[in-house]
Structure 1
């Protein structure tokens, strides 16, 4: 009996030790995620560090990546060539967005980084999609416009002008960290697709706004398309969860889906 009690104490001690090691590892992971948003120029490279957290929990994340000016210039040239002509006059924005989301290779580094985070944190389903969307929400809003910035009311926000169609490709956005509604929507759409989600891009002529939508089990405001509910997801500011339409854009009848898997 005494022998059995000693074995029990040994097992208990091992269990306590393993629990302590796991807790220490998790604490170390959380500490590593406490990074500071920054962009640093290093010769022809731009070193990026982004820190953000989920809306639905206190989970925080950190991603580091680098971009370069040569690839940025290549992405700009590719964008100008790909959207030089609008082929679908019935749905011009859908045509333009579709051309920009095709270049998955240029954002593979980001997808790989987010995949590593997801695997480490065991994220899937809604929580995984929230990790992706909140990363983009956390990037400060900037105007990307086709004309001169001084000719627009930018409300004091950063602005980059003379950009054809007022739209950056995903790589250009990641390089500059400057993007407004549709630039963000295009990046989020492309990344969500790589993770196997079913996203859509919505636009509103009345609101002059674009937004992502996602077919995923949740609640709130949505558009019905091909028998599926696509829930609105605002990406231009922090704090918006799937299904939450901002009050200034909340008339569902003013929105239409311009890009999805099945149109």
Structure 2
């Protein structure tokens, strides 16, 4: 995105038969993880049929004395895994939440972010970021690395203990991110929610959720990139795994398209209105995502 240009955020709604769809488009003193439940298969949670069993990935509370009432609880399906139902709980304390919000606001001040109304803004883009928002994404990945890593450990533990392959691991993570409620972040600089706050607040738009997904996938050892289209006003994830469907290339590698705003959307399937490969950029974001 060029400096001084309008935001590329816009709301979309998709309909496809048989698929439930949603709507689109530093950290110090975190303490230790709260008491984490062992990954196991247990009785159904409220809201699931009595015959359904699920895998509980546990709870993450940062810092450890965060009241459980601040946690958001997520239930979702990963159809290629048995059992397919999964559950995880994630919450951040009030002080840590304010710290992450203030870091994001400070970034906006440094880059002279200015809102121009709903879904439009200007900022002074750093060198190398005049054509897209990669520097914004990389800074958020850096400042949010520790709390996102704590969440990612629950996925890594489950993947290892159950012997899931890379495709199953990707579906597990993408299904979780798809489950997070879609919301345009009008209250946040650059129209993006910091990745640790996306699951902590159960909200995010296309690029807010995509950055979180890239961080979690990489932590699980899966090559992942952010897919970005200014002309199409959308963002998604590219997954470096074999498979059918739409793929985009970066150098000598190709990446399967992964939609993160629509719950249950299959890996490799791109919504028809976005099936314009030449309008997409593949951003190999460079910030570390794990400790």
Structure 1 residues 91, 198: closer, same or farther in 2, change over 3 A? farther
Is 1:31 aligned with 2:53?
Answer: yes
TM-score (structure 2 length as normaliser): 0.67
* Runs of 4+ off more than 6 Å: none
Aligned to 2:162: 121
Q: Deviations over 1:58-115 (max 9, x none)?
A: 6111112222221111111122334533322334411111111123212122112112
**Residue 120 of structure 1: CA displacement?**
3.3
Ranges in structure 2 where 5+ consecutive residues have no aligned partner: 1-39, 45-51, 58-65, 112-124
Comparing 57-66 with 195-204, greater Cα deviation is found at 57-66
Instruction: State the SS of the aligned residue for 2:74.
Output: strand
RCO higher in structure (CA 8 A, sep ≥6): 2
Ranges in structure 1 where 5+ consecutive residues have no aligned partner: 1-24, 36-41, 145-160
Matches of 1:199 and 1:66, distance apart in 2 = 25
Whether the 8 Å CA contact 2:207–2:236 is kept in 1: the answer is: yes
**Residue 26 of structure 1: CA displacement?**
5.6
Structure 1 residues 45, 60: closer, same or farther in 2, change over 3 A? closer
Looking at CA atoms only, which structure, 1 or 2, has the larger radius of gyration?
1
TM-score (structure 1 length as normaliser): 0.74
Structure 1 residues 214, 72: closer, same or farther in 2, change over 3 A? same
Matches of 1:252 and 1:196, distance apart in 2 = 26
Q: Deviations over 1:112-134 (max 9, x none)?
A: 21122223322131100110011
**Residue 182 of structure 1: CA displacement?**
0.3
Aligned to 2:177: 136
Structure 1 residues 258, 27: closer, same or farther in 2, change over 3 A? closer
Is 1:234 aligned with 2:259?
Answer: yes
Structure 1 residues 261, 72: closer, same or farther in 2, change over 3 A? closer
